[in-house]
Amino acid sequence: MLKEMNIELPILPTTVIGSYPRPKWLRHMIRLYKAGRIDEKTLQESFDDAVIAVVKEQEDAGIDIPSDGEMRRDEMVEYFAQRIKGFRFYGPVRVWGNNFFNKPAVVDKLVYEKPIVIDEYMFLRKVSRRPVVKVTITGPYTIADWSFNEYYSSKQELVYELAKIINREILELEKAGAKFVQVDEPALTTHPEEMEWAVEAVNEVTKGVNIKLGIHVCYSNYEILSKYFDKLNFSQFALEFANRSFRDLHILKRLGDKEIGFGVVDVHSRRIETPEEVAQAIRKVMEIVDVERIYINPDCGLKLLPREIAKAKMEVMVRGVNIIREELRRKGVEKIIMRR
């Protein structure tokens, strides 16, 4: 059973998955830094300023639970591998087409040396005017799946070791005051034969944690994932549905008392949805899931979209939510209590 937290949110709280397009000027500053033309301090100041800008953009759009847009992270696996002792990088490998990924290798016993994203959280907390912000962490299964394992005797052992490290990081975040952490596991269903132990291992990150934990799994086989809704020790599943034209909603019957982070705008398309399309999708999901268990988000991180389209998608999302909120307000339903 989910437990109530002492936090009130508007009904159908709106949030983002995490990443947001980096402002053009920030990309320019990163290039200057790599060329040795600005110092570390100036780069950090640029990251801070970018976070201020994108948090404001999210809040102006009406997002209830903003993120820092992952401004400081080049890539979701690399960022964590660079900050856990025991990884090394051999250089970029080709993943698809002409896209390269700086694939990390585990070459030694993994050690949690120091907090990874606590500073990110502290800065976001200082900048945001909202009662709750979202911190995202790449999950242990995805980090392992996208890395070379040259040290542990099995992938399973590696995922467990990573899970213990991520667990320590989440406990640190809780200590620092974070209320909502989302673990990103896009790779979770990619090897169905590993699901049984993968779910157990991923649960390791939740041990002893008393704040809200969500898990984001995208462009994945939800038939497989939904069999584990109950077993996965997370209160919320943030899933992508716009990209699949809101098919597969039936899998949400397996949610039990857990929550859905319902993806209503497609981040793989530049077409901007209409508020009515968003409202219509929410009406559909409300036929399956109680409204108090629905959060609204884009399908996935907005990072790869042009910034003005990302912004427009958030605005449309909130306008769609507001159509439904108005209908609910007439029935006296306006708030929910956040649960973990």
- Given the rule CB under 5 A, which residues bind Zn ion? 218, 300
Cβ of residue 216: shortest distance to Zn ion, in angstroms? Answer: 6
Grouping H, G, I as helix, E, B as strand and the rest as coil, residue 339 is strand
Kindly write down the DSSP assignment for every residue of 148-162, as one continuous string.
EESSSSSHHHHHHHH
At 43, phi and psi to the nearest 5? Answer: -65, -45
Cβ of residue 19: shortest distance to Zn ion, in angstroms? Answer: 9
Quote the tokens at residue 117: 């994203």
Q: Are 297 and 134 in contact (CB under 8 A)?
A: no
Minimum CB distance to Zn ion smaller for 65 or for 218: 218
Minimum CB distance to Zn ion smaller for 123 or for 234: 234
Minimum CB distance to Zn ion smaller for 46 or for 182: 182
Minimum CB distance to Zn ion smaller for 167 or for 297: 297
Q: Are 144 and 202 in contact (CB under 8 A)?
A: no
Kindly write down the DSSP assignment for every residue of 30-64, as one continuous string.
HHHHHTTSS-HHHHHHHHHHHHHHHHHHHHHHT-S
Minimum CB distance to Zn ion smaller for 86 or for 139: 139
Cβ of residue 254: shortest distance to Zn ion, in angstroms? Answer: 20
Minimum CB distance to Zn ion smaller for 86 or for 263: 263
- Kindly provide the residue ranges of all beta strands, DSSP E only, lying in the chain, ordered along the sequence: 4-10, 85-89, 93-96, 99-101, 104-111, 135-138, 148-149, 180-184, 212-217, 236-240, 259-263, 294-297, 335-339
Q: How far apart are CA 133 and CA 135, in angstroms?
A: 7
Burial class (CB in 10 A: 0-12, 13-18, 19+), 288: middle
Minimum CB distance to Zn ion smaller for 127 or for 183: 183
Output b/e per residue, 227-240; b: 16+ Cβ within 10 A.
ebbeebbbbbbbbb
Minimum CB distance to Zn ion smaller for 23 or for 298: 298
Q: How far apart are CA 309 and CA 270, in angstroms?
A: 7
Minimum CB distance to Zn ion smaller for 152 or for 241: 241
In Å, what is the CA distance from 289 to each residue of 35, 77, 216, 261, 325? Answer: 51, 32, 18, 11, 16
Cβ of residue 186: shortest distance to Zn ion, in angstroms? Answer: 5
Q: In the 8-state DSSP scheme, what is residue 2?
A: -
Cβ of residue 54: shortest distance to Zn ion, in angstroms? Answer: 17
Grouping H, G, I as helix, E, B as strand and the rest as coil, residue 130 is coil
Q: How far apart are CA 134 and CA 256, in angstroms?
A: 23
